[in-house]
Amino acid sequence: MPQAGQGQSLYFYILMFSYRELGASRQRRKQGKANRFAGDGWTNLAIYPFYSPSEGHEARYGVNHFGFIVLDLVRKVDEFAREIPVAKRLDSRPHRVHDRKANMFDLSQTKGWKVDVDK
C-alpha cells in the first residue's frame, strides 16, 4: 500500500471496494495534480487534498464528495428536495446536494462526474 497522500486514500478504496482509478484521475496524475477519482460504474469518489492554514501542517487527503448515478433523476431530486436543498447546476454537470452534515454528493441519471458509466 502506498505510504502517504492521495495514493494511499485511492488505493484503500480500490482494495476494499474493488473501485477502479478513473481516467480523469490518471490524467490529473500526469499533469501533477493531486485530485484522484475512483469509481465502480455507479458511484464515484472524489479524493482531494485538504489544507490546514497552520504552519508546518501538510495536506491531508480524503473524500471531498461522492457521485451517484440514479435510475430516475427527477423522482430522486424531488425526494431529496422535500428534505434538503438540491442545487441545479449546468446541464453538463450533475445536481449537487449537501446532506444534513454538509457532506457533498452529486446526482445524475446519465452521467456521473467521472464515474465510468457502463464499465
How much is the pLDDT for 2? 43
Tens-place pLDDT, residues 23-40:
888 898 899 888 888 888
The span from the CA of 46 to the CA of 36, in Å, is 6
Q: Degrees (nearest 5) of the Cα angle 95, 114, 25?
A: 135
Phi first, then psi: give them for residue 28, nearest 5 degrees: -65, -40
Instruction: Identify the pLDDT of residue 100.
Output: 78
Same domain, residue pair 48 and 87: no
Smallest CA-to-CA distance from 114 within 69, 49, 50, 62 is with 69
Task: Decide: pTM greater than 0.75.
Answer: no
Residue 50 forms part of a structural domain: yes
- How confident is residue 1, by pLDDT bands cut at 50, 70 and 90? very low
Instruction: Tell me, yes or no, whether 89 and 74 share the same domain.
Output: yes
Q: Is residue 8 part of a domain?
A: yes
Query: Which domain range does residue 54 map to?
Result: 1-69
Q: Tell me what pLDDT residue 114 has.
A: 54
Q: State whether 31 and 86 are in the same domain.
A: no
pLDDT, greater one: 38 or 3: 38
59-112 pLDDT, tens digit each: 677 887 888 888 898 898 899 889 888 877 777 777 888 887 788 888 888 765
Q: Does some domain include residue 118?
A: no
Q: Do 88 and 54 belong to one domain? A: no
- 22 burial (CB, 10 Å; 0-12 / 13-18 / 19+) is buried
Cell of residue 19, nine digits: 473501485
